[in-house]
Amino acid sequence: MTISLIDKINLEIRKGDITKQPDCDSIVNAANAQLKSGGGVAGAIHSIGDPELEIETSKFAPIKTGEAVITSAPKMPNRYIVHCLGPVYGKDKPEDMLLGNCYKNALLIADKYEVKSIAFPAISTGIFGYPVDEAARVAFSTIQSVAHKLTNIKTIRSVLWSDEDYKTHEKVLEDLVK
Ligand code: AR6
């Protein structure tokens, strides 16, 4: 499913693997504060990019919740990886603001690096326990509110790992454009 935001920016949702988005300039990592390998998305990205990736990320670590930093994308088809630390649900508060900051800061730093297309996983919805529907609402409403500040980004893709997460995102997006 694809919708048009302002200024000819497309917001897409796709089922898939964040490490297999060769047509995107940048992908986003659902990172940990130390910017090291881990489970889920961080494990998948670092298992391809390390050790070169960890050498780069270690220069920025530790990062704060809601922060985004950018590195190259060793051994991957993309130009950049934007690493974001999402909130742990029920612990880092206010969760919605902190999760929104991830999307906002990721988009702004990628735009500064002249990224035209960027793919996000559903940050915080795995090990960090954020309910998928709530996280999707925060993600899409933040993307909508930041869109007018973007000069280079034309495609924003949300990549969902499971059928269920895809369907939840589809429903949230449909409600948002009603
Ligand atoms: N591609 C796309 N989505 C994926 C993939 C993949 N390859 N693998 C998992 N997902 P998570 P978090 C989905 O746990 O909640 C790590 O250990 C997954 O189903 O990766 O922000 C880090 O080191 C879920 O919907 O990120 C941190 O410590 C979403 O991506 C911590 O987990 C996010 O799941 C970060 O937790």
Distance CA 149, CA 164 (A): 32
How much is the pLDDT for 2?
A: 79
User: Which residues have C-beta atoms less than 6 Å from ligand 1?
Assistant: 17-19, 30, 32, 38-42, 44, 86, 121-128, 159, 161, 165
Class of domain 2-177 (CATH, top level): alpha beta
**Residue 2: how many CB atoms within 10 A of its CB?**
11
Task: Considering only CA atoms, give the Rg of the chain.
Answer: 15
Please tell me whether the overall predicted TM-score, pTM, comes out greater than 0.75 for this model. Answer: yes
How much is the pLDDT for 69?
A: 98
Residues 6+ apart with CB under 8 A from 37: 43, 46, 47, 50, 54
User: Over the chain (178 residues), what is each successive 10-residue block's mean pLDDT?
Assistant: 80 97 98 97 98 98 98 98 98 98 98 98 98 98 95 98 98 88
How much is the pLDDT for 6?
A: 67
Pairing between strand 2-4 and 10-15?
Answer: antiparallel
Which of 35, 41, 95 gets mutated to test ligand 1 (max ligand atoms within 8 A of its CB)?
Answer: 41
